[in-house]
Amino acid sequence: MKFKTFKLIFAYYTFIILLFNSCNDNKKQNYNNEKVAIVGNANDVIPFFQHWNLILGDGSNVGQAIDYENKNFFYTAKDNNTDWVVFKTPNAGNTHGTSNNTRTELAQLKKWSPMSDAKMNATLKVMNVATTGDARVASTYSVVVGQIHSADGHENEPLKIFYKKFPGHTKGSVFWNYEINTKGDDNSGRWDYSYPIWGYDFSVVGTNEGNYPQEPKDGIALGEEFSYEVEIKNGIMYLKFTSEGHETKTFTKNLMSSEYTKRSDMPEQVKDLFVPIGQDGVERENAYTDEGLFFKLGCYNQTNGKDPKVNKVWCSGAETHGGDIQKQYADGNYAEVWFKTANIEISDDAISNVGYFQANDGLSKKTVYPSEVIPFMDKFKMLMGDGTNVEDLVDFEHKDFFYSVIDGTRRWVVYKTPNSGVTSKNSSNTRTELHEKRDWTPEQGGRLTGTCKVMQVSISGDARVAASYSTVVGQIHSGEGHENEPFKLFYKKFPGHTKGSVFWNYEINTAGDDNSGRWDYSTAVWGNDMSVIGTSKNDYPSEPKDGIELGEEFSYEVNVYKGIMYLTFKSEGHKTRTFTKNLIESEYVNKSDIPAQVKKLFVPIGQDGTERATAYAGELGYFKQGAYNQTNGKSPEKNMVWCAGAETFGGDIAKQYKNGCYTEVWFREATVGPGVPQK
C-alpha cells in the first residue's frame, strides 16, 4: 500500500560547504560543515503543520500553524542547543467542543479507518502540570500529550496518553487510557480503563483533597524526555513507550472487537472509579469499527476549575483566577509540553476530517437551551428566583437561574435560586421551578420522573428550624381549595456535613375553611426526616450514615394512579426505597391520628389541624420540578419550622450566590405524563 509520510523532525540548519573556484587564482575556499540550531517558527523545528489544525487554550481553531506563533500558547524554545515546539495551556480558558478542559493541541485534518495503516511517533518532555486541584479527582495534575480520537458517533477516544505528577513529588506517572465506544445512543455511561507505563495508572488518587499517594518509584520527572510510538494495523493498536533509564513498555489493543460488551466484563478499576458517578455503560461489540479516527498531539490540560461535586473523576477544583490566563501562568496553574520530534503516517485512503471541526469549533460558546436537554419543557411554565414568570420555556435560558451545563460526560439543566428574591404568593421562599400546565385530579392521575443532583444548599440558617439548609426538588401541588401539597421531595444538608438527607413530606388537606392548622408528615428516604434538627442555632445533629452527598445523583418517580401515589427512589450504592400513599382517603381525620413527629414539630407552633376524610379527592393539581429553596431570611421567632433566619445580604442575589446562600439543583433526565398501573 502506498503511504504519504509526513515526518515531524527536529530541523537543523546546516551550512553547505560552498566550493568557489576563484577566477583569479584557481584557489578553493572551504567552509566548515557545521550544524547550527535556529529557533524560528514551529514549522522550522517540526515541519509538518500543514497536516493539522491547531486548537489553542482560548478555544480558537487557528487552522494550519505554518509560520505561526502565539506567545501565550504555541511557540518555540531552545534548551541545550536543541530547539523545541512548546504547547502551553491554562487550567481555565475557553474550551473546544464539549470538553471541560483547555488545550493547545494539534488535530489531524484527515481521518482514517482502524482497518487501514496509521502511525504516530513523538519525543517530548512535560515541563509543567497544574499545582492546585483536588487530589481525590483522577484527572487532577495531569495532561494528555497524544490521542487517537473518533470523528464519528460519540466522538470517543480509544487512546489518551497521560502524564501526571502530584504536588511535592519529583517523579510523575505516564499511563494511557482506553475509552469505550459506548453502546447505544446515550454516551453518558462511557468510561476509561487505564494502563500504567511508568508509575501509576489513572485510578491512583489521594484520600482527601490535599493528601497524595506515595511518589512512584519508576516515574518520570518534569523535564525528562520520553517517546511514544502508536501504530494501527488491521484494526489492532500497537503502542511502544521508551525513555532513557526506564524499561521499554509495549501494549496491544484490538479496536475492532470489544472485551467490554457486558457489565460483568467491567474491570474492578472502573467499578471503583466510574460506577459511583453513574458512568457504567458497556461497549458495542465491534468497538470503533466503521468510525473515522484521527491523531491528536500536544498539550490537553486535564486539570480544570470545576467543582469536584460536579464530577469526581474529571472536575478538579483547581485555581483558575477567574479565567485570567496570566495569573494562572504566574503561579503554576497550567500545563506545558515541549516536543522535539514527531511524525505521522497515514494511508492514501484517509479522507477529510472537516466534519469534526465544523461540529466542534465554537461549540463551547454555543447556547444549548434546557429544552434541548430535557425536551418536555413545552409542558411547563416557570417562576424564577427574581419573581419572573416564563410561559414559554422552549429555547429559553437565563444565566442567573435556568440554563444548561456539561459535566464532562453529559448535559444537565441547572435550576438556581437565592435565599431571598421575589417569591410567589403565599410562599416565603424563592424558587426556580417548573409548573405543569396540565391539571389533573388524583383519580385521573399523573406521573413525574427526574434524575438529579443537588449541587448547593444554603450554608447559613438556624439549625433549630426544620426547613433550614434544604431545597424541594419535586412536588405535587393542589390548584384548588387550600392549594396544599400532597407531595414535596426535599434534600437537606447541615453545614460541615458531607452527607445530607433525602425525605418526602405529605401535607394534609386541612378540614374546614381555616388552613392555618395544616402540617406536614415527613418520611425519610436516605438519611433523616425533616424533624431531625439542631438543639441551638449552630448546633447540628449527627451526620446521617446512609445520606446523599452534594453532587451525588438520585432518581425519583412519582406515579399517581386511580388515587394512589406510588413513590420510587433510586441512587447508585443506596437501597432503592418505595412508598405508597392514598390521596383520596385520609388517615388523619381525628386529633388522635396526629403522628408523634407532628406533635413534636408542628403542634408547638399551633399547627394541629385534621384532614378532610377524602383528602385530595376531586381536587385539580399539577406537578412541579426544579429548585424550591426552603431556606429564607425570615426570623425563626415567626415560625420555628419554616422561617430559617438565613443570610440574605439585603436581597442582593449576586452576593448571596458568592457567599453560598442559595440552592442549585441539576437535572439530566425528566419525564411527565399520565399515571400508569404500578408494576
Q: pLDDT tens digits, residue range 611-665?
A: 999 999 999 999 999 999 999 999 999 999 999 999 999 999 999 999 999 999 9
Q: Is 670 helix (H, G, I), strand (E, B) or coil?
A: strand
Q: pLDDT tens digits, residue range 170-203?
A: 999 999 999 999 999 999 999 999 999 999 999 9
Share of the chain above pLDDT 90, in %: 87
pTM of the model: 0.78
Q: pLDDT tens digits, residue range 493-504?
A: 999 999 999 999
Confidence check: pLDDT of 491 > 90: yes
Question: 302's torsion region: left (phi>0), alpha (psi -120 to 50) or beta?
Answer: alpha
Beta bridge partner(s), residue 86:
75, 338
Q: HEC string of 558-617?
A: EEEECCEEEEEEECCCCCCEEEEEECCCCCCCCHHHCCHHHHHHCHHHCCCCCECCCCCC
pLDDT averaged over every residue in the chain? 92
Question: Terminus-to-terminus CA distance in the chain, angstroms?
Answer: 60
Class of domain 3-365 as given by CATH: mainly beta
Confidence check: pLDDT of 2 > 70: no
367 or 127: whose pLDDT is higher? Answer: 127
Confidence check: pLDDT of 518 > 80: yes
The reported pLDDT for the residue numbered 29 is: 26
Confidence check: pLDDT of 249 > 70: yes
Closest CA relative to residue 666, chosen from 456, 431, 390, 371: 456
Closest CA relative to residue 141, chosen from 333, 409, 337: 333
- Cell 449576586 locates to 654
The reported pLDDT for the residue numbered 93 is: 87
The mean pLDDT value for 261-270 works out to 97
Confidence check: pLDDT of 39 > 70: no
Range with the lowest mean pLDDT among 104-118, 319-333, 412-426? 412-426
Cα(433)–Cα(417) distance, integer angstroms: 9
Confidence check: pLDDT of 19 > 50: no
Confidence bin at 362 (pLDDT 50/70/90) = confident
Q: What is the CATH number of domain 379-673?
A: 2.60.120.200
The alpha carbon dihedral of 315, 318, 319, 323 has a sign of: negative
For 9-31, b where at least 16 C-beta lie within 10 A, e where not — what string? ebbeeeeeeeeeeeeeeeeeeee
Burial of 115 (0-12, 13-18, 19+ CB in 10 A): middle
Cα(670)–Cα(679) distance, integer angstroms: 20
Confidence check: pLDDT of 243 > 80: yes
Confidence check: pLDDT of 285 > 90: yes
Hey, do 3-365 and 379-673 end up sharing a CATH topology, with the first three levels equal? yes
Confidence check: pLDDT of 16 > 80: no
Cβ neighbours around 415 below 10 Å, total: 30
The reported pLDDT for the residue numbered 410 is: 85
- Cell 540548519 locates to 13
Contact 146, 217 (CB under 8 A): no
Domain boundaries, the chain: 3-365, 379-673
Confidence check: pLDDT of 476 > 90: yes
